[in-house]
A = this chain, B = another copy of it.
């Protein structure tokens, strides 16, 4: 039987085959690919190696990864991951995102207004406990509620017992449930950031492209009790960096992949979800660009939103090209057929029921897509909040919902309001980070317009949201009238509960209240008609997959810590061989060739300091390791567990990795550890930072 499957695989192109036969896999830390690493790379993954990597890996809750690089809480991540904090630490006339920052003494390090980082401490399998709470006779709604309740209870108990942030994570779309416990730091201070020009040299043009020359790094320090955190588990900074052909590892927090999704779901993605998403992103991008073009200060205000939106637009565009590629869809179809074949050929009666289970599960997922079409946009617009593209709306909704939810038992609340999450939620909600009324107005105008464009002017939800005005006038009314810019007002409303909310005349609070019944209905439909049936179906598919392939397939990404491995190597495009690394010199050459025009302009510091630099210093490098969005800032480690790079991107060939792993041309891209040292030594007045990195 193995032969048959292997033979089938041979007739198909690329890396679709669900048994890892390459460097594929974002592996669970509690189920690492020891065997594979031994077979493919003659590497013995030891427990101490793994433990150090885990405890030195950082998750930034603004969305990204990082790694401790000194015993005193210093960690590195990407500049584009740090952008959120850099922006929030900036103001008119003081643009840290654009100009960079360096604190040459601890007391000059700048506390971020709302950055939270998490460091994974351990993982426990709670699948049985979660599944035991869901009885076969339950309706989808009952099952959903029961599962939510048991997950909430497990988290609460863990939090009470350990004091650690405790999250139950759904793996394999419902195949497994693991409890993740994190040490949490909320006092995070900025140490060093370079200028944006060099951090993202080439800007949107070169995003998801290689060759690349980006110093996409920023250093923060975690604090505890007002002192630098003690982080005995950290990554030694390699002064050598990686060589071609070398085995490397990436530890980080890949956000989401869809490799185990069924063909029906992927078609839905291709024909419904991705077009809607791109329509939305291009709408927001146009609005943000227009806002930014009004003046340099407007451009500053819109910079991080614009980057996120443009980055997402490019990533989703690549995904859509992937799903519109008949080769890829054929691979997915073959994989599905193969799973069915595998199940059917298992010994009776296991095979028969596995085959039926898989068939039923596939049909169930397909049926869900048909239902979804009827309310997916309304759900995304009103419950997910695409109609209200402003943190102000999120704030208003939390105030409204906390009034209703907090009086309930933790297990019965909407999941984001469970006790174990409240501290982190409030930390974000009461953040003093600045918001700009005119920017929020522009974003609300665009997104309210987008709402009307999608649902039509006669739709009840549109009428409810617009309240007798056109989108532009309504956005003006909302931003001019709200007091939610002030954290104190948010606190007052949360502390005052449902009554304070009900009495509030704030137009944003009133909007969030007015649509809440409908939004909750849409959410319930989504939970009961989509999430729960899909979870059950995917759990069945996962069981068949385990039976057929064992655990040789890693679960889809879930923004939790994973270990990937890969080989450092260049690749070929259109006959041109691309080296595995670029150099400082190439940045200067490219900029000169393009007349130094934005986004290929270099910082003055770099132009002035060019002669001081060794232009042959490796700048960025690529490997075949399996990464995705969320891995930004991930440490890249060598066999010795030293940091040889900081992952910051993947190339355009890697954009299809949401659906299929391929290593023909697809690569992730990292900043070379030597580049950071050379730049810090020669261009920046950052001697103490260099000393901290290399003292070990």
Is the CB–CB distance between B282 and A449 below 8 Å?
no
A236 at the B interface (CB under 8 A): no
A184 at the B interface (CB under 8 A): no
Is the CB–CB distance between B294 and A313 below 8 Å?
no
A285 at the B interface (CB under 8 A): yes
Interface of A is mostly: helix
Contact among B285, B324, B457 with A324 in the assembled complex (CB-CB below 8 Å): B457
Is the CB–CB distance between B470 and A267 below 8 Å?
no
A323 at the B interface (CB under 8 A): yes
Q: Which B residues lie within 8 Å of A404 (CB)? A: none
Is the CB–CB distance between A282 and B293 below 8 Å?
no
Is the CB–CB distance between A205 and B293 below 8 Å?
yes
- Bound form: Cα–Cα A556–B164 in Å: 69
Is the CB–CB distance between B452 and A324 below 8 Å?
yes
Interface 0/1 of A267-286, CB less than 8 Å to B:
10011101100110011011
A504 at the B interface (CB under 8 A): no
Q: Which B residues lie within 8 Å of A452 (CB)? A: 270, 275, 320, 324
Is the CB–CB distance between B267 and A458 below 8 Å?
yes
Interface centre among A271, A454, A594 (most CB of B within 10 A): A271
- Bound form: Cα–Cα A641–B550 in Å: 88
Q: Which B residues lie within 8 Å of A299 (CB)? A: 597
Beta-carbon nearest neighbor of A474 in chain B: B324
Query: Which of A595-613 touch B at CB < 8 Å?
Result: 595, 597-600
Contact among B278, B293, B321, B595 with A204 in the assembled complex (CB-CB below 8 Å): B293
Q: How far is the CB of A478 from chain B (nearest CB, A)?
A: 15
- A323-B293 contact given A278-B283, A286-B313, A317-B449, CB 8 Å threshold: no
Interface size (A, Cβ < 8 Å)?
52
Q: How far is the CB of A241 from chain B (nearest CB, A)?
A: 30
- Bound form: Cα–Cα A274–B594 in Å: 38
Beta-carbon nearest neighbor of A272 in chain B: B456
A513 at the B interface (CB under 8 A): no
- Bound form: Cα–Cα A456–B440 in Å: 33
Contact among B289, B326, B600 with A289 in the assembled complex (CB-CB below 8 Å): B289
A403 at the B interface (CB under 8 A): no
Is the CB–CB distance between B270 and A470 below 8 Å?
no
Beta-carbon nearest neighbor of A326 in chain B: B468
Q: Which B residues lie within 8 Å of A329 (CB)? A: 457
- A279-B205 contact given A295-B597, A313-B286, A458-B267, CB 8 Å threshold: no
Beta-carbon nearest neighbor of A291 in chain B: B205
Q: How far is the CB of A12 from chain B (nearest CB, A)?
A: 17
A325 at the B interface (CB under 8 A): yes
A466 at the B interface (CB under 8 A): yes
Q: Can you list 29 A-B pairs, Cβ within 8 angstroms, ordered by A?
A: A204-B290, A205-B293, A270-B452, A271-B456, A271-B457, A271-B458, A279-B279, A279-B283, A279-B453, A282-B282, A282-B286, A285-B286, A286-B286, A293-B598, A295-B594, A296-B594, A296-B597, A321-B449, A321-B472, A324-B449, A324-B452, A324-B466, A324-B470, A324-B471, A325-B469, A325-B473, A326-B468, A326-B469, A326-B470
Extra 5 A-B pairs, beta carbons < 8 Å, given A270-B452, A282-B283, A324-B471? A278-B453, A295-B597, A324-B452, A326-B468, A326-B469
